[in-house]
Amino acid sequence: MDSEVDMVGRDAEGRVMPFARRATSPDDPRIGKPPTGKVARSARLAAVPVAYAGRRIAGLGKRAVGRNAEDVERDIRTRTAEHLFQVLGELKGCVAKLGQLLGLLELGLAPDLAEPYRQALARLHDSAPAMLPGAVHAELAAHLGDEWRSLFLDFDDRAAAAASVGQVHRARWHDGTPVAVKVMYPGGRRAVLADLQVLRRATPLFTALLPGADTRPVIEALCDEIHAELDYAREAANQRAFALAFAADPDVVVSRVIAQRGDVLVTEWLDGAPLTRLIARGEAAELDRLGVLILRFLFSAPARAALVYGDPHPGNFLRMPDGRLGVVDFGACTPWPAAFLDVAGDVGAAVIADSPADLEAAIRRHGFVAPGRELDIATVAARLQPVRDALLAPTYPLSADWLREQVRLATDLRLSNVLRQLTMPPDHTPILRSFLGGVAVLCQLQTEVPLRAECTRWYPETAAAAGL
């Protein structure tokens, strides 16, 4: 008998979603493909708020018959979190990247609100529905040739990890080298391109939230970055550059690229413990040490590899058996805009000097506010005070509580929120993406960041210009 298979399967209420396909075998190569059409993907996302509204209505009935209101509310949150991240994981593409970002920024929510999302997110990265063997074999044959098995001594059909647009398998190359084989999902490119169209259409929403910002070029820059991540040849070149730059580093390891053909990338296997597992154990001293290494890696990458590492999240960092930091996934790397150092030195000098007048002049000079627009510079200076404190102190403690306060200030929708007055040059988009992701990871690790030492070590001229 045919088995009914769905890209999303059942929703959080246990109902079969209405986009099922028929397949005669679990090895059918169609199974495991994310939906790629705009209508299907939009319908998946639209189902989340619809299901949430249904839970709210059902909750009223439960409270009416005497069920505890707090228990009902907690159940609604938990079911909604599970449903949301189930859909994000199974759609993959851009929305899976959104899930990764939410997975970091959920630290900014109040603990009682964040817990259901934290639990659901813990399953998102590695537990998204995998391509089954038929689909994997078909992709390997398409890109490596019909005799692809001759390239490997053995190949594990089970996915070792899931990414936003591909999944990773463990194997041994024909010379015996343990390797990670990254295979793009069938239709993954089409799905991402559909998501980018949705993101571009959402530009007016961002303009409404940030009326002082020229959001369109920033959104276009972000779309260009995400589009570039679909190019595995580019990712291989990025990884080679990082592997060369960090080859002699005593604390960081980047694996070699073994081969790249089409939508398949083969690299050395890094046999380390994922950061997500260490965070769950709560090894405070070790997490702080790894956090410092992550800070050093992110800070030094432009100086050493001339690239910005754009995808820092716990799933991309490993603790190696010898204690080093392992780094994977180099698709989201972009060339370092060297002119940014002038901006950092100029703005940094005003921040260190605690001079609002100089700060406003620097912000206007470098295009962070539209010409002629009013700016509440006193509030801007207050928002940057944590940066000043972190640069002047030997170490500065980052934590979930600290991030929670910054998220609260940044997401305040009142017109008085000074961030609504600011904009950003689009060529700074990769740096902002790396910065936000890095800060969120370091807050999750509760790292005491030696920001001043890393600034002066890797960018001595800029640090000197800023007065450090």
* Residue percentage of the chain with pLDDT more than 90: 38
* 413: in domain: no
Single pTM value for the model: 0.72
Across 181-195, 263-277, 347-361, 385-399, least confident range: 181-195
**Residue 54, Cβ neighbours under 10 Å: how many?**
12
More confident residue, 86 or 167: 167
More confident residue, 97 or 15: 97
Number of domains in the chain: 1
Taking 50 as the threshold, does the pLDDT of residue 29 lie above it? no
Range among 183-192, 220-229, 297-306 rated most confident: 297-306
User: Could you tell me which residues come within 8 angstroms of residue 23 by beta carbon, excluding any fewer than 6 positions away?
Assistant: 2, 3, 5, 30, 31
Q: Which residue has the tokens 């410092």?
A: 292
Whether residue 51 lies inside any domain: the answer is yes
Q: How many CB atoms lie within 10 A of CB 190?
A: 17
pLDDT band at 400 (very low <50, low <70, confident <90, very high): confident
Average pLDDT, rounded, for the chain: 76
pLDDT band, very low/low/confident/very high, at 6 (cuts 50, 70, 90): very low
| Angle between helical axes of 429-445 and 400-410 (0-180°, round to 10) | 140
Q: Beta 325-327 vs 252-254: how paired, if at all?
A: parallel
Residue 12: what are its φ and ψ, rounded to 5°?
-65, -15
243 Cβ contact list (under 8 Å, min separation 6): 254, 255, 256, 257
Flag whether 427 is in a domain: no
Q: How confident is the model at residue 125 (pLDDT cuts 50, 70, 90)?
A: very low
Report which listed range, 136-150, 270-284, 394-408, is most confident: 136-150
Comparing CA positions, the residue from 33, 35, 32 lying closest to residue 19 is 35
Reported as a pLDDT band with limits 50, 70 and 90, residue 7 is very low
Q: Quick one: which H or E segment has residue 86?
A: helix 69-91
Is the model more confident about 147 or about 19?
Answer: 147
List Cα–Cα distances, 227 to 92, 265, 324, in angstroms: 14, 17, 31
- Mean pLDDT computed over 112-121: 49
Residue matched to tokens 């993907």? 41
Give the pLDDT confidence of 76-95 residue by residue, as tens digits. 656 665 555 555 544 454 54
Where residue 124 falls among pLDDT bands split at 50, 70, 90? very low
Dist. CA 105–CA 440, nearest whole Å: 6
Residue 115: domain span: 3-127
Domain assignment present for residue 87? The answer is yes
Task: Give a yes or no: residue 330 inside a domain.
Answer: no
Task: Give the whole-angstrom CA distance, residue 445 versus residue 437.
Answer: 13
108 within a domain of the structure (yes/no): yes
Task: Taking residues 425-434, report their average pLDDT.
Answer: 80
Longest dimension (CA), the chain: 75
163 φ/ψ angles, rounded to the nearest 5 degrees: -120, 180
Q: What is the dihedral of CA 9, 13, 18, 19, to 10 degrees?
A: -30
Residue 325 pairs in a beta bridge with 252, 319
Residue 40 lies in a domain: yes
Tokens describing residue 361? 């002049």
Nearest to 414 by CA among 440, 382, 379: 379
pLDDT in tens, 279-294: 878 788 999 999 999 9
Give the pLDDT confidence of 317-368 residue by residue, as tens digits: 999 999 999 999 998 898 988 788 999 999 999 999 999 999 999 999 988 8
Torsion-angle region of residue 32: left (phi > 0), alpha (psi -120 to 50) or beta?
left
β-sheet bridge partners, residue 171: 155, 179
Please check whether residue 346 is in contact with residue 360, taking contact to mean a CB–CB distance below 8 angstroms.
Answer: no
The verdict on residue 9 lying in a domain is yes
Tokens representing 163?
Answer: 């990414």
Tokens representing residue 311 in the block: 């995808």
pLDDT at 346: 92
| SS3 assignment for 292-348 | HHHHHHHHHHHHHHCEEECCCCHHHEEECCCCCEEECCCCCEEECCCCHHHHHHHHH
